Structures are given as C-alpha cells and as structure tokens.
Amino acid sequence: MIATSDSLTAARAEALFVSHLSTADHPTDSEVAVAIRTAVRTYGGTRGCAAEVAAAYGDHPELAAPRMRWARSVIEDLYQRRVRPTGQQVTSLASRRPSHHTPLAAAA
C-alpha cells in the first residue's frame, strides 16, 4: 500500500470511517461511493465527517485507530487501482481528468 496524504484521500477516508460500513465488510467500489456520499450528506460535509472522526478518537481511540487504518486501506486500494502506471487516471469515480502528477509528455 502506498501512503498518501492528500486532502481528497483524507476526506474520503474520514467519510468512510463514519459510514455505516463495517470493517468486516469487503465493499464494492459502488458501495464505497454510496457510503462516502451518504456520510458527507449526513454529517453536513467533509468537516462534519472530520469532527465525527475526532470525537471517535477522543471517546474510543482503541477502536478508532484500526477503523481509520481500514478506511484508509479501502480508499487507497480503490483509488490506486484507478491510476495507470504512466500516472494517467483511468475513467473512474475519482476523476476523468489526468492526474496532476502526469508527465507533460504523457499529457500532450
């Protein structure tokens, strides 16, 4: 697994963290997308999701840490699979535009 720290990955992981999905689940791509959308709507946006994550870490850090590892793993796996080795994005839920890391020669 490649560790990333971009804000979109973090926001997706936070929304998945506060979603109804269980860490025992092996959700499909569409189940993850629905869970993220639902959580963002339920908690009033990504800041609301982040606040819920913070509360979970404050209340039960022993449960929150493994759940966040699970959420990050699911998000990173899902969106890493959608990136081609050249750095160009595959048509996906993530984006239909080339990655900002795409070499100039590949973007032309």
Using alpha carbons, list the distances in angstroms from residue 63 to 51, 56, 57, 83, 97.
16, 8, 8, 31, 36
Contact criterion met (CB below 8 Å) for 31 and 24: no
Query: What's the whole-model pTM score?
Result: 0.71
- Among candidate residues 105, 101, 81, 77, the one with its CA nearest the CA of residue 91: 81
- Number of C-beta neighbours around residue 79 at 10 A: 21
Q: What is the pLDDT of residue 106?
A: 41
pLDDT per position as a tens digit, 33-69: 999 999 999 999 999 999 999 999 999 999 999 999 9
The alpha-carbon radius of gyration of the chain (Å, integer) is 15
Q: Mind listing the pLDDT tens digit for each residue in 7-40?
A: 999 999 999 999 999 999 899 999 999 999 999 9
Report whether 80 contacts 2 (CB < 8 A).
yes
Cα gap 93→108, rounded to integer Å: 23
